[in-house]
Amino acid sequence: MLLIIYLRWVLFARFAFMRRMFVVGFALAAFAVSAIAFAQMYRWVDEKGRVQYSDKPPPANMKGQRVIPLPPKQEVPSTVSEKDKSKSTVPVKKEQRGYASLKILSPASEETISNTNVVVVQLALEPALDQANGHKIRVTLDGAPAGLWDGPQGSLSNVIRGEHALGAEVIDAKGVTILGTNAVKFYVQQASVPPPGGKKK
């Protein structure tokens, strides 16, 4: 009697186990079929001879039916953090303008400046100086730098009497010359002061 009860229990346990495995296998198979169906395309030729593609099966009477498996979608993880993205703004560099001409208007060529050691300089620059990109005007006197200006007008102090050569050039933020002008010759003349008790010569 005990043997019969034992055999029945073994058969019941085996049947229950097989039924559970069947359910699990059926679920896995259904999932695999749905995944395959999702990851594929259908190709066929319609009644007008045009090749068609779709993720849905074509009508049964279409010619050239073929299933095209699609590769699984792959996502590449980003290596840039949100903090780095906020710092990745690239500053926009302003376009550097060119210049058409640079001229010395004052003093004029061969001009004589009397009774003063201050020389007023007036330049003509076309177009205007591009200060946004750090451009400046460098003035030279007798070949030596005499001033760095932000505009086309300025003055030179303590210019001794005699013959002088005035030059000007536009330079960029690195000090590279963009445009220059020929030197202009001018003269500074000052009245001589007689010594105390002496006569003016």
Which pLDDT belongs to residue 201? 47
The answer to whether residue 165 is domain-embedded is yes
Length of the chain: 201
Please indicate, yes or no, if residue 65 is contained in any of the structural domains: yes
User: Which pLDDT value is given to residue 108?
Assistant: 94
Q: Which helix (H) or strand (E) segment is 126 a member of?
A: strand 119-126
120 shares its domain with 170: yes
Domain count across the chain: 2
pLDDT in tens, 60-93: 776 666 665 555 555 656 665 665 655 555 555 5
- Domain residues for the domain of 151 are 101-189
Greatest mean pLDDT among 32-36, 103-107, 197-201 lies in 103-107
Residue that has been written with the tokens 């932000």 in this structure: 150
Query: Distance between CA atoms of 117 and 164, rounded to whole angstroms?
Result: 12
Residue 86 lies in a domain: no
Neighbours of 55 (CB within 10 A): 11
Choice between 146 and 18, residue whose per-residue pLDDT is larger: 146
Q: Are residues 180 and 118 in the same domain?
A: yes
Place 52 in a pLDDT band, splitting at 50, 70 and 90. confident
Residues 109-131, mean pLDDT to the nearest whole number? 93
H-helix segments, 48-199: 82-86
